[in-house]
Structure 1
């Protein structure tokens, strides 16, 4: 979890304003303070977008989550934030330890904005019925990740980095999936329906579900419920 679960209330309703002509409905964290208003250093910059009276999307690092809003309370999975301020140029939300300050981004799409827009794509209703080995062949690298069902505990040592598919049926080997920033390499043992079957160092099988496969993009889900958006490289 990002922070300890806590229920916080304030005495006013937040203002929900439509984006002005020169601004988007995307917000970037520009500052973070502790509860005594002292600035703190951070590397996990947060972004929020698609803000309405009832919901928003939150992006933190390479993960994206859906949040719901009720009066002055924002719930993102098991996390809760106090909505302290929201006007046309600034949003402030607080948890037990920190205040997160966001500024609205302009409508002009920067490279970072374009990447965020790509990550907002809708997941298909169901996985592929079968895996097209011609399209899958090559080297794929994850450029974005998110939990399918919202925030939860992440084991970063088990995250997929790359998927290499070069089948050699004479060796009963279809390719390699790298884990833990490329440190561990798990062989691809089989393809079954929408599943890529890999085995770990203990010969335990794991299933990677293919949700989307085109010449330009591969979307897969590991057995921890994490979605990976991948590109050829």
Structure 2
């Protein structure tokens, strides 16, 4: 497979394990089977750069799923994926056990796409237009515009461990904007431009005279 930029310390040990070894008698020893897939998966899951050679190992990794009566058993799935990654001969290297555990807990659950999809919610841009008179009290009339947003603004602890590990390359993500005004997650390398674009699109005339909240003001007024 192509060399990834994350080759530091333990990642370099992984690359060495994957490299063919030439013996004095002219034979070449190449790591194969599950051990090779485990090493490749560990290396590929340590970077946002995923060349085509990563596909077999990543497919094998993400196909490892354990179920119980209620559906996907995440704890058992993590344990099974950790056991698979531990099949790599380099798993005994210094720091590799911690790295493998971080991957098993966070891979596939800490990227912007997963976070934006699984923590999606609705925010509301609204203003009061007046009152509807009659009955025992005056009822406010609102103009309300629902906004797509992502309510989670702080990464779960397992994502922090996985994304910010010393051996990773461009895995970190950052939150753009604000939850009540349509915030979302994006790759850290794209954050500065995305935040500037969000501010340009969500301030000024767009926000002038409006209120923003994560609850529909019409529901609050009914209580």
TM exceeding 0.5? no
Q: TM-score category by the smaller chain?
A: under 0.3
More helix by share: 2
TM-score (norm 1): 0.27
Q: Provide TM-score, normalisation by structure 2.
A: 0.28
